[in-house]
């Protein structure tokens, strides 16, 4: 058994003919795809012509034509009655193995003790959270079970090592740790170098090998973070110059490029920009072959891939290659077409950005009364997870007096708040806000109630997502 991870820029998306040729050189009996293949009509045809059967396992939406594979397993293909429509690629593969196991047990050709699929649940949890699929009931069960095994010390060496280099406590490992500590370290491999390092870490047979690989991944993640920080300040400066020149304080979207930017990180920069401005954003890096490689991040109501498809239909020469989905897409444009693309991008956005779409919307579960602003509530919420994509943790909103505030670590705003209707004084933090709030007036805050663990003590901490002077809205 061996694996191949396509470099999507070198080999194209999914099981392309180029990647089939690479695979064929290893003389396999069979090609099995994971998390791709449903759109690979040509690649599957190539494999078939070489006498290689293909089993496609995927979760992406199929196009008009399905590949002629030996078998296709995809909960989102027409006629599939499997209830878990939001499985990640790793989840689909898990069920394929479960079906195979059942079949082989029935025919008596395996020993049940030797095929314990529960041992794979740590990987399923990791892949499900990292792929940002909606946490429907089925996925929540998979993630919760995987986390349980990890906390009990039954995770594979690679995942345990990743948690260790990230300084996370294994016996309390949470979906947040996976999303914010483990996944970024694994993904750093693909962004900065090659994903192979990430896979090798997950496959590591023992603690020592795993720790060495995890340390390497941690280093790559440090580089990534540094690079991203630099790119983000350049993006900010560019944005300000652009706003000043265009005399437009509130453009419909952003389209930024810098010759020094790293192509593995443009998506993160576009994402941060979108987050801050609530406008669709695309960031480009040079790809070295006379083209610019870009990443789009969009907002609800603006379908990223459809925006690109409309541009490509009107001006095919601007946009020879693109792909993606509603919230994120990738594209490649000829170097010389950047300005033309930027005009087309802003022009197309005019059709999408209605007043309703432009407005940022925050959902809140209402106020928490003073009696519920407690460590116990935060504990109940923490145990109610796993929370995540499509199943966000409850957030609340109400008015507070600002008791005091300070910026910590150059980046986050720490506050002490007291409900205007009376109640305890509570610690609060607003991440990535490096400006103080106006004082002397109550604040309307949208927040999550979390447990802050510090020096062995548990305290209630409000994580403020949005704040504005009370009565402003
Ligand atoms: Mn996927």
The domain spans of the chain are 8-215, 250-358, 370-469
d(CA 133, ligand 1 centre) in Å:
8
Q: Which residues lie across from 321 on neighbouring strands?
A: 332
pLDDT at 247: 67
Q: Are 89 and 35 in contact (CB under 8 A)?
A: yes
Report how far residue 304's alpha carbon sits from residue 348's, in angstroms, rounded to the nearest whole number: 11
pLDDT at 25: 96
pLDDT at 110: 84
* pTM to 2 decimal places: 0.90
Judged by phi (left if over 0) then psi (alpha if -120 to 50, else beta), residue 224 lies in alpha
Report how far residue 280's alpha carbon sits from residue 298's, in angstroms, rounded to the nearest whole number: 4
Q: Are 311 and 344 in contact (CB under 8 A)?
A: yes
What DSSP letter does each residue of 315-369 carry, written as one string? -TTT-SEEEE-SSEEEEEEEGGGHHHHHHHHHHHHHHH--HHHHS-------PPP
d(CA 379, ligand 1 centre) in Å:
32
Q: Are 151 and 168 in contact (CB under 8 A)?
A: no
d(CA 59, ligand 1 centre) in Å:
6
- Domain 250-358 coded CATH 3.40.50.1820: no
d(CA 130, ligand 1 centre) in Å:
10
Report which of 348, 373, 374, 388 is spatially closest to residue 133, judged by C-alpha positions: 388
d(CA 35, ligand 1 centre) in Å:
5
d(CA 100, ligand 1 centre) in Å:
22
Report which of 305, 311, 310 is spatially closest to residue 325, judged by C-alpha positions: 305
Report which of 412, 449, 446, 448 is spatially closest to residue 431, judged by C-alpha positions: 412
Report how far residue 266's alpha carbon sits from residue 466's, in angstroms, rounded to the nearest whole number: 26
What DSSP letter does each residue of 103-144 carry, written as one string? HHHHTT-S-GGG--GGGGHHHHHHHHHHTT----HHHHHHHH
d(CA 218, ligand 1 centre) in Å:
24
Chunked in runs of 10, what are the mean pLDDT values of the chain (473 residues)?
Answer: 80 86 96 95 97 96 93 95 95 97 89 86 97 95 98 97 96 95 96 92 98 98 96 93 78 95 95 94 92 95 95 93 88 95 96 94 91 94 92 95 92 94 93 90 95 90 93 65
d(CA 36, ligand 1 centre) in Å:
7
d(CA 6, ligand 1 centre) in Å:
14
3-state class of 427 per DSSP? Answer: strand
d(CA 131, ligand 1 centre) in Å:
6
d(CA 34, ligand 1 centre) in Å:
9
d(CA 370, ligand 1 centre) in Å:
42
Report how far residue 367's alpha carbon sits from residue 470's, in angstroms, rounded to the nearest whole number: 14
Report which of 108, 14, 102, 93 is spatially closest to residue 57, judged by C-alpha positions: 93
What DSSP letter does each residue of 361-417 carry, written as one string? ------PPPGGG-SHHHHHHHHHT---BTTBPPP-EEEEEEEEEEEEETTTEEEEEE
CA angle in degrees (0–180, nearest 5) for 442-448-450: 120
d(CA 60, ligand 1 centre) in Å:
6
Side-chain-side CA neighbours of 315 within 13 Å: the count stands at 17
pLDDT at 293: 94
Angle between helices 207-246 and 266-277 (to 10 degrees): 50
pLDDT at 208: 98
d(CA 89, ligand 1 centre) in Å:
5
Report which of 60, 215, 85, 184 is spatially closest to residue 137, judged by C-alpha positions: 85
CATH code linked to domain 370-469: 2.40.50.460
How many residues are recorded in the chain?
Answer: 473
Report how far residue 467's alpha carbon sits from residue 470's, in angstroms, rounded to the nearest whole number: 9
CATH code linked to domain 8-215: 3.90.1640.30
Report how far residue 152's alpha carbon sits from residue 163's, in angstroms, rounded to the nearest whole number: 14
Q: Which residues surround ligand 1, an ion (CB under 5 A)?
A: 35, 89
């Amino acid at each position: 058994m061996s694996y191949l991870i396509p470099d999507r820029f070198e080999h194209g998306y999914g099981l392309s003919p180029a990647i089939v040729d690479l695979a064929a050189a290893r003389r396999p009996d069979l090609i099995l795809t994971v998390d791709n293949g449903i759109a690979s009509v040509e690649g599957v045809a190539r494999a078939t012509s070489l006498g290689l059967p293909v089993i496609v396992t995927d979760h992406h939406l199929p196009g008009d034509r399905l590949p002629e594979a030996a078998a296709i397993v995809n909960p989102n293909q027409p006629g599939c009655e499997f209830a878990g429509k939001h499985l990640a690629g790793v989840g689909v593969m898990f069920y394929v193995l479960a079906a195979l196991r059942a079949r082989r047990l029935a025919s008596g050709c395996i020993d049940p003790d030797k095929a314990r699929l529960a041992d794979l649940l740590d990987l399923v949890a990791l892949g499900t959270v990292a792929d940002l699929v909606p946490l429907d009931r089925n996925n929540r069960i998979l993630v919760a079970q995987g986390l349980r095994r990890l906390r009990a010390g039954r995770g594979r060496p690679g995942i345990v090592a990743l948690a260790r280099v990230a300084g996370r406590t294994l016996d309390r490992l949470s979906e947040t740790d996976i999303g914010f500590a483990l996944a970024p370290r694994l993904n750093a491999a693909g962004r900065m170098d090659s994903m192979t390092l990430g896979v090798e870490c997950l496959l590591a047979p023992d603690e020592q090998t795993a720790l060495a690989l995890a340390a390497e991944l941690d280093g790559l993640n440090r580089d990534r973070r540094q690079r991203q920080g630099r790119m983000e300040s350049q993006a900010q400066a560019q944005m300000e110059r652009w706003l000043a020149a265009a005399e437009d304080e509130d453009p419909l979207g952003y389209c930024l490029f810098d010759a020094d930017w790293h192509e593995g990180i443009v998506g993160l920069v576009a994402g941060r920009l979108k987050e801050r401005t609530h406008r669709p954003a695309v960031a480009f890096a040079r790809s070295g072959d006379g083209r610019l490689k870009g990443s789009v991040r969009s907002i609800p109501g603006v379908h990223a891939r459809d925006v690109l498809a409309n541009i490509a239909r009107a001006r095919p020469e601007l946009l020879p290659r693109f792909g993606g989905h509603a919230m994120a897409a990738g594209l490649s444009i000829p170097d010389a077409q950047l300005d033309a693309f930027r005009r087309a991008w802003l022009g197309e956005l005019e059709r999408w950005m209605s007043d309703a779409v432009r407005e940022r919307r925050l959902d809140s579960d209402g106020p928490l009364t003073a009696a519920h602003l407690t460590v116990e509530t935060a504990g109940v919420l923490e145990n109610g997870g796993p929370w995540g994509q499509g199943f966000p943790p409850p957030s609340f909103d109400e008015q507070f007096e600002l008791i005091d505030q300070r910026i910590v670590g150059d980046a986050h705003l720490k506050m002490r708040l007291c409900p205007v209707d009376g109640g305890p004084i509570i610690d609060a933090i607003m991440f990535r806000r490096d400006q103080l709030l106006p004082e002397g007036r109550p604040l309307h805050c949208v927040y999550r109630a979390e447990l802050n663990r510090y020096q062995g003590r548990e305290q209630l901490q409000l994580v403020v997502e949005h704040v504005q002077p009370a009565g402003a809205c």
